[in-house]
Amino acid sequence: MATVVGLDLGTSAVRAAQISAGKRGAPVLERIGQVPLPPGAIADGEIADPEAVAQALRLLWQSFKFKSRKVALGLANQQVVVRPVDLPYLPEAELRQSLALQVQDYVPIPVEQAVLDVHIVANMESEDGNRVTRVLLVAAQHAMVSSFVDVVRKAKLEAVGLDLNVFAVLRALAEESLPTDSGSELLVDVGAAVTNLVVHSGGRPRFVRILPFGGSVITDSLVGGLGLSVEEAEEAKAAIGIPDDYLVALSDERARVIVDGATRLVEEIRSSFDYFQAQERTSLVRRAVLVGGASLLPNLPARLSEALGVPVELGRPLERLRLGKIGLASEELARAEPFFAVAVGLARGVAA
């Protein structure tokens, strides 16, 4: 198979990873890199300034020397619907062929205006004794998908694969060897403007939620409420984090803003988590794994663990990869790792 690069078009940067299957053992990370985007070029996971994004992509390829112009793209925004649906059992090929005829009642847009896909969760018997297939139904606005393909083409790249960011995170982090009867795992990818949640058992998704906010809720409050520059806001988040000491949080205006924003973020994640737990009482979540730029906010994993009632660990999307000659020192790679779960997962999908 020709080399395909995993491409993550994020709110603050474009990121790419090139992975080869390798002749023996773990896949090999051959190239990795990112280029910042100007503010507003991608807003809420959608293309707002195509030329700025295309220029960043051209610079990304020029700077990091990716060996292919074929890319696998990820999506994450409010133009994407993901929901569990039970459909009459059919072999997978027939299920996919008949999808548009079966799912109109389950999506809020006409199927002729949507790009449709399914992830099969399980085949089972319904209460009335009929065989059904439980799927995660994915429907994305065709116009929005086209805008991503067009901006890639503008940068002289070719989109040969398309997936949701949340499934890329699953591919990058999931313990696929984990027996499905040993419980589930929550993966949380907190970006600047979008947070992806997926609960899986042994690598098979059971629940997905895309939340329309992320770490920028804190940055924007520091900038808009206290008059800090974006750089000063990011420095305050890194230096202060979520204080353990309640008196510190009360005495420092910046700390109060950070705590308020982090609390909102944690509560939204917990709300989705509680909804899954209420629906799936037979599949208890045993831990959560956290990635994304906002995962670096000091004390966020501890606060999230307290809210969810399960251990929270920082994810390592590069852990199961062998490193090629990528030209980065180990310290640089460690700092970059939390930002690359999506790009790595997209690349792994085509390098497997």
* 207-232 tens-digit pLDDT: 999 999 899 999 999 999 999 999 99
CATH number of the domain located at residue range(s) 80-140 in this protein: 3.30.1490.300
Q: Inform me whether the pLDDT recorded for 321 exceeds 70.
A: yes
pLDDT score of 248: 65
CA dist 207 and 216 (Å) reads 25
Q: Inform me whether the pLDDT recorded for 179 exceeds 50.
A: no
Confidence of residue 161 (pLDDT cuts 50, 70, 90): very high
Confidence of residue 175 (pLDDT cuts 50, 70, 90): low
Mean pLDDT of 98-107: 92
Q: What is the DSSP letter of 296?
A: G
pLDDT score of 133: 94
Burial of 130 (0-12, 13-18, 19+ CB in 10 A): exposed
CA dist 259 and 143 (Å) reads 38
Per the rule left: phi > 0, alpha: psi between -120 and 50, beta: everything else, 73 is beta
The Cα-based distances of 62 to 6, 59, 67, 101, 249 in angstroms read 16, 5, 11, 44, 44
**pLDDT digits 0-9 by tens, 131-159:** 999 999 999 999 999 999 999 999 999 99
CA dist 130 and 281 (Å) reads 23
CA dist 347 and 341 (Å) reads 10
pLDDT score of 187: 97
Q: What are phi and psi of 108, to 5 degrees?
A: -85, 10
Please provide the size of the chain in residues: 352
Which one, of 185, 210, 207, 206, lies nearest residue 195 by Cα?
210
Q: What is the mean pLDDT of the chain?
A: 91
CA dist 296 and 299 (Å) reads 8
pLDDT score of 177: 45
**Between residues 91 and 349, which one has the greater pLDDT?**
91
Mean pLDDT of 69-94: 93
Mean pLDDT of 228-253: 86
Residue with tokens 């890329």: 168
Contact predicate 350/1, CB 8 Å: yes
pLDDT cut 70: percent of the chain above it: 94
pLDDT score of 320: 86
pLDDT score of 247: 65
**pLDDT digits 0-9 by tens, 2-57:** 688 999 999 999 999 999 987 777 789 999 999 999 999 999 899 999 999 999 99
pLDDT score of 351: 64
